[in-house]
Structure 1
Amino acid sequence: METILPIMNQFSEIETCVECSAKNLKNISELFYYAQKAVLHPTAPLYDPEDKQLKAACVRALSRIFYISDQDNDRILSDDELNSFQKSCFGNPLAPQALEDVKTVVWKNTSDGVQDNGLTLNGFLFLNTLFIQRGRHETTWTILRKFGYDDNLELTDDYLYPELRVPVGCSTEINQFGHQFLQRLFDKYDEDKDSALSPAELKNLFCVCPYMPWGADVYLTVPTTELGFISNQGYHCQWMLSAYLDIHRCLEHLGYLGYPILTEQASQTAAITVTREKEVDLEKRQTQRSVFLCKVIGPRGTGKTAFLQSFVDRSVLSKENSSSAFSPYVINRVQISNQEKYLILNEVDVETEFLKASDASCDVACLMYDTSDPSSFDYCASIYKQHYMDSNIPCVLVASKVDLPEAKQFHGMTPAEFCYKHRLPPPLPFSSFLLDSTSKNIYTRLAWAATYPHLNGSDMSSTSFWLRVALGSAVVAVLGFAVYRAVARLK
Structure 2
Amino acid sequence: MAKTSNSGGKNGVRIVVAGDRGTGKSSLIVTAAADIFPTNVPPLLPPTRLPQDFYPDGVPITIMDTSSNPEDRGKLAEELRRADAVVLTYACDKPVSLHRLSTFWLPELRQLEVKVPVIVVGCKLDLRDEQQQVSLEQVMSPIMQQFREIETCIECSAFKHIQIPEVFYYAQKAVLHPTGPLFDQESQTLKPRCVRALKRIFILCDNDRDGALSDAELNDFQVKCFNAPLQPSEIVVVKRVVQENLVEGVNERGLTLTGFLFLHALFIEKGRLETAWTVLRKFGYNNDIELLDELIPYSSLKRAPDQVMADGSKRPLEYNPFLGLIIDGQPSCMMSVELTNDAIEFLKGLYELFDADCDNNLRPQEVEDFFSTAPESPWNDAPYKDAAEKTALGGISLDAFLSEWALMTLVDPARAVKNLIYVGYPGDPASAICVTRRRHLDRKKQQSERNVFRCFVFGPKNAGKSSLLNSFLRRPYSDAYTLSADECYAVNVVELPGGVKKTLVLQEIPEDGVRKLLSNKESLAACDIAVFVHDSSNESSWKRATELLVDVATHAEDTGYEVPCLIVAAKDDLESFPLAIQDSTRVSHNMGIEAPIPISSKFGDFSNIFRRIVSAAEHPHLRIPETEAGRSRKQYHRLINRSLMFISVGAAVTIVGLAAYRVYATRKNSSS
2:344 is aligned to 179
Q: Select which of 611, 618, 622 maps to 1:444.
A: 611
Of 218, 228, 247, the match for 1:111 = 247
Match of 2:389 in 1: 223
Q: Which residue of 2 aligns with 1:263?
A: 426
| Percent identity of paired positions between Structure 1 and Structure 2 | 30
**Residues 331-342 of structure 1 correspond to what in structure 2 (within 5 A)?**
331-336=491-496, 338-342=499-503
Which residue does the alignment assign to 1:403? 573
Give CA-to-partner distance per residue, 1:113-160, whole Å, 9 cap, x none.
Answer: 124745333322455689999xx999977753442135x584453346
What is aligned with 1:277?
438
2:367 is aligned, of 169, 180, 202, to 202
1:310-349 → structure 2 map (5 Å cutoff):
310-317=471-478, 328-336=488-496, 338-349=499-510
Alignment of 1:78 with 2:242, yes or no, is: no
- 1:157 maps to a residue whose letter is L
1:312-332 deviation line (CA, Å, top 9, x unaligned): 11124399xx99989621011
Correspondence for 2:406: 240
Q: What is the DSSP-based 3-state SS (H/G/I as helix, E as strand, rest coil) of the residue aligned with 2:431?
A: helix
Match of 1:305 in 2: 466
Equivalent residue in structure 2 for 1:158, among 288, 293, 298: 293
| Contact 1:293-1:364 at 8 Å conserved across structures | yes
Cα separation, partners in 2 of 1:326 and 1:226, compared to 1, 3 Å:
farther
Map Cα deviations across residues 352-408 of structure 1 (whole Å, 9 max, x no partner).
233325334521111122221122222222222232264631111111111111211
- Report the 3-state secondary structure (helix = DSSP H, G, I; strand = E; otherwise coil) of the residue aligned with 1:352: helix
The count of residues paired between Structure 1 and Structure 2 equals: 404
Q: Is the 8 A contact 1:89 1:142 kept in 2?
A: no
| Runs of at least 5 residues in structure 1 that lack an aligned partner in the other structure | 1-33, 49-53, 459-491
The structure-2 alpha-carbon separation of the partners of 1:77 and 1:263, relative to structure 1 and needing over 3 Å to count, comes to closer
Question: CA 1:203–1:105 in structure 2 vs 1: closer, same or farther (change >3 Å)?
Answer: same
Name the SS of the counterpart of 2:546 in structure 1. Answer: helix
Tell me which amino acid in the other structure corresponds to 1:347: E
The question of 1:121 aligning with 2:257 is answered: yes
Alignment RMSD (CA, Å) = 4.7
Matched residue of 2:576: which SS?
coil
Match of 2:475, as an amino acid? R
- Alpha-carbon contact 2:197-2:289 (below 8 Å) kept: no
1:149-174 CA-partner distances (Å, limit 9, x unpaired): 35x58445334654354543221112
**Residue aligning to 2:662:** none
- The change in CA–CA distance for 1:324 and 1:122 in structure 2 (over 3 A counts) is farther
Contact 1:45 1:153 in 2 (8 A): no
Contact 1:89–1:143 (Cα < 8 Å) also in 2: no
Aligned to 1:7: none
Amino acid at match of 1:331: V
Report the 3-state secondary structure (helix = DSSP H, G, I; strand = E; otherwise coil) of the residue aligned with 2:512.
coil
Could you list the runs of 5+ residues in structure 2 that have no partner in the other structure? Answer: 1-52, 60-168, 302-326, 626-672
Q: Which residue of 1 aligns with 2:199?
A: 67
Q: Measure, in 2, the Cα distance between the counterparts of 1:454 and 1:210.
A: 43
| Residues in 2 aligned to 1:87 and 1:318: alpha-carbon distance in whole angstroms | 62
Structure 1's 46 and 367: CA in aligned 2 closer, same or farther, altered over 3 A?
Answer: closer
Give the distance between the partners of 2:351 and 2:495, measured in 1 at CA: 23
Question: Which amino acid in structure 2 is aligned with residue 407 of structure 1?
Answer: F
Correspondences of 1:391-470 after superposition (within 5 Å): 392-409=562-579, 413-436=582-605, 439-456=606-623
State the SS of the aligned residue for 1:149.
coil
Which residue of 2 is the match for residue 3 of structure 1?
none
In structure 1, give the amino acid aligned to 2:568: V
Instruction: Tell me, yes or no, if the aligned pair for 2:529 and 2:564 is still in contact at 8 Å.
Output: yes
Partners of 2:218 and 2:427 lie apart in 1 by: 11
Structure 1 pair 157–225 and aligned structure 2 pair: CA distance change class (3 A): same
Aligned to 1:20: none
Range moving further from structure 2, 54-63 or 118-127:
54-63
Distance, in Å, in 2 between the alignment partners of 1:296 and 1:55 is: 45
Match of 1:380 among 537, 545, 552: 545
For residues 85 and 449 of structure 1, do their structure 2 counterparts lie closer, same or farther at Cα, with a shift above 3 Å needed? farther
Query: 2: distance between equivalents of 1:335 and 1:279?
Result: 25
Q: Is the 8 A contact 1:306 1:432 kept in 2?
A: yes
Instruction: Return closer, same or farther for 1:116/1:177 CA change in 2, 3 Å cut-off.
Output: farther
Q: 8 Å contact 2:528–2:564 — kept in the other structure?
A: yes
Does structure 1 conserve the Cα–Cα contact (< 8 Å) formed by 2:194 and 2:289? no
Distance 1:81 1:143, change over 3 A: same
Q: CA deviation at 1:226?
A: 1.0
Distance in 1 between the 2:501 and 2:522 partners?
27
Residue 290 of structure 1: how far off its partner (Å): 1.4
Amino acid at match of 2:620: P
Structure 1 length-normalised TM: 0.67
Q: Which amino acid is 1:365 matched to?
A: A
For residue 444 of structure 1, report the CA deviation from its aligned partner: 0.4
Q: CA deviation at 1:310?
A: 0.7
**Structure 1 residue 77: Cα displacement:** 6.4
State the secondary structure of the residue aligned to 2:593: coil
